[in-house]
Amino acid sequence: MRLKLLIITLLLCHSLFAQELVKFKVQIQKDRIDAPVAVSLDGLNYNTDKGNLVLYEINKAGEMQIASQLEPGHSARLWFILKGESKKGSERKFVLKREEKAALAETIVSLKKDSKDLSLLVNEKPVLNYRFATTYPPDGVDPLYKRSGFIHPLWSPGGKILTRIQAPDHYHHYGIWGPWTKTHIDDRAVDFWNLKSGEGTVKFAGFLSEAEGAVYSGFKALQQHIDFGGLGEDQIAMNEILDVRAWNLGEGVWMVDYTTSLNSPLKNGIMLDAYRYGGGIGWRATEKWHKDNCTVLTSDNKTRVDADGSYARWCMVEGESEVKEGRSGILFLSHPSNRMHPEPMRVWPLDANNGRGDMYFEFVPIRHDDWKLEPKQNYTLKYRMIIFDGKLDAETAEKYWNSFAANPVIEFENK
């Protein structure tokens, strides 16, 4: 009798701390690789102190625990990564449980902050620095070139810096950033890019959130686009929330999301004028790259010769690097929800900078058409960067884009 009671007690305890919440299938419509996936937790009693959310992938060998991370909010989501390749027409099965034991592993992507930079690292290897402190130009250069709120350095997995700031030919270039060049506030032109014009700038205004976890780590920062030329004091022309997130794929490749949301507090909003530069995501590449040692390939098979001004789902820029593989690069992905997607690009021609052919790339959603931002409305642009060493072919680039473009179909069994 005592043995029977003990067994019942153990079963009851197990049911309390190993409660199955939902089973689901992820159906793959297009080939994917290392794909972050979000599962809605709406309708589930996930927000409780009793146990932890633990995710398992179900395969022939049984249930294998995998890393997952809760993103609370208006509609809570559970994130995990479909590791490796997922073939079109296949499906992968999962079960989410509430258990006493903790979810997998300690955080691998970590955040560190000092007086100037917030850094993202994987196993202490640096991925990127976000510079929130004001950075001044070199001595003797006009202080109007000062700037905060940009990414530099961005490293390859092998530790080579792929960004550049304050190049003598363009002191207003700042690693990876996205200011707007030609704009109009009512009938007055304002340039937030060419800082020496003294018309405007962009500055870091504060961190809104920071997140660490087993699947991703990142931050949200408020950046203010400041208009110097209005009547009275300087005014905020646009508030920007920059959301940067590094996914935990291990040490072989970095995956970084760069999402920018704009909102104008101005009475009549702001016009972003059509121009070959402006907004989106811009990148001044390492000074080591030039026309003879780096290449461009787009989703429409354009190269550096003909990519400028064309449209693309993705663009890959790679070049000579002092890593064992000999090459490093960045694959830039534009999300289908972006304005003008497939998105226009600015790619410096082969004879840029007096024939040297330095590398500059940008997705430019206003390349061919004006964009009016109405007052107190949110506008969002989403990008992903795949940072790699070695070679990345077009087929693999397409799989990464498929992974970014849409969440796969998820079929719940008992939600």
Label residue 104 by pLDDT band (50, 70, 90): low
- pLDDT for 229: 86
Domains recognised in the chain with CATH numbers? 2-103 (2.60.40), 109-405 (2.70.98)
Q: Is the pLDDT of residue 274 over 70?
A: yes
**CA angle, corner 197, sides to 195 and 201, nearest 5?**
35
> pLDDT tens across 201-230, in order?
999 999 999 999 999 999 999 999 999 987
Question: Measured between alpha carbons, how far is 230 from 236 in angstroms, rounded to an integer?
Answer: 10
Longest CA–CA separation in the chain, Å: 91
Q: How many helices (H) and strands (E) does the chain have?
A: 2, 31
> pLDDT tens across 231-256, in order?
778 999 999 999 999 999 999 999 99
Helix (H, G, I), strand (E, B) or coil at 297: strand
Residue type, 336: P
Mean residue pLDDT across the chain: 93
Strands (E), 132-263: 150-154, 165-167, 170-174, 176-177, 183-185, 188-190, 200-211, 216-227, 235-247, 254-263
Eight-state DSSP code of residue 124: T
- The residue-averaged pLDDT of 156-168 equals 98
Q: Is the pLDDT of residue 96 over 80?
A: yes
339-to-209, 334, 375 alpha-carbon distances in Å: 26, 10, 18
Residues 321 and 389: beta-carbon distance below 8 Å: yes
- pLDDT for 6: 42
Q: Pick the residue with more confidence: 11 or 351?
A: 351
pTM of the predicted structure, to 2 decimals? 0.94
- The residue-averaged pLDDT of 175-195 equals 96
- pLDDT for 73: 86
- pLDDT for 40: 94
- The residue-averaged pLDDT of 176-195 equals 96
CB atoms within 10 A of CB 25: 16
- pLDDT for 51: 81
Report which of 389, 381, 385, 298 is spatially closest to residue 340, judged by C-alpha positions: 381
